[in-house]
Amino acid sequence: MIETRRIDVAATAAHQRSARLAVHLAGAGPLAVLVHGFPLDHRMWTDVLHGPLAQRRTLCAIDLRGHGGSPWCGDDVHTMQQFARDVAAVIGTLGDGPADVCGLSMGGYVALALAAEAPQLVRSLVLTNTRATADTDTQRAGREQAITTVVQEGRAALAAGMLSKLTAPDCEPLRVAQLRTMLEAQPTESIVADLRGLQQRPDRTGELTAIAAETLVVAGEHDAITPADEMRAFARQIPGARFEIVSGTGHMSPLEQPHAWSEVVGSFWR
Ligand code: MLT
């Protein structure tokens, strides 16, 4: 069974407005937080929440501010640091110490920000379909184009340009439809704030050697956004990190092949 709870996050001076976050819990055992990608919400983890990992961990799929059941707070920019402070508040509220932290793509950027800023809250890291580098100039220009598309033409137009890049070419059509539903459900203001935050995020490559938490890096065999070879090289920079590839998946490995992905993560979360 999945239980939904609300967690209030207080405003911090200058940085961030207060937020009411929806979190979705399943299972039992030590706390593990799951952080979704752009511009999605906790529903990308639905099959994972219902799968075998819930026998080993209390899984907590967070709706980042402005996504899913967490309303947009009026922020013009969603920085990865701000999202990380929200995740820290969730761990502080639900946990009795550090948590296993798992993030996909944008969620991975958030996990890396949390590991840098509050390492005492991170028992272990799962970085799936993500990277440590900042945007290149070309990627920043692409974000600008995406802002224009979503503001002027709407979320369906943004989805039309994005969906084929998110999954492996032979992904089940129902999975793609699930992604479309999620993407089109997020507030436009929030999508714009995400895109600005993604554009501004810092390069964390230099911090990888300082990660002390046990880390698993998971790639999708056909990931066109964060390719497996790039992720293998990124994993090598984290002391002792394990690296695994989920066959047949694109950028959305846990949604495309939840059983195979959960097996890989389950062998890490013993
Ligand atoms: C995501 O899935 O979160 C995005 O691909 C992140 C990004 O565009 O950098």
pLDDT digits (tens, 9 = 90+) for 58-110: 999 999 999 999 999 999 999 999 999 999 999 999 988 999 999 999 999 99
How far, in Å, is the centroid of ligand 1 from the Cα of 38? 5
Q: What is the mean pLDDT of the chain?
A: 97
Sheet with 99-104: strands ordered across: 3-9, 19-27, 58-62, 31-35, 99-104, 122-128, 214-220, 242-246
Q: What pLDDT, in 10s, does the model give residues 97-127?
A: 999 999 999 999 999 999 999 999 999 999 9
Q: What is the pTM of this model?
A: 0.97
Instruction: Give bridge partners of residue 35 from the DSSP assignment.
Output: 62, 103
How far, in Å, is the centroid of ligand 1 from the Cα of 7? 25
The binding-site residues of ligand 1, defined as CB within 6 angstroms of any ligand atom, are 37-38, 105-106, 198, 225, 251
Q: What pLDDT, in 10s, does the model give residues 164-203?
A: 999 999 999 999 999 999 999 999 999 999 999 999 999 9
Q: What is the rounded distance in angstroms from the CA atom of residue 75 to the CA atom of residue 85?
A: 14
238 contacts 263 by C-beta, under 8 angstroms: no
Which residues touch 4 (CB under 8 Å, ≥6 apart)?
Answer: 22, 23, 24, 25, 69
How far, in Å, is the centroid of ligand 1 from the Cα of 23? 21
- Write out the two tokens for 259: 């059983």
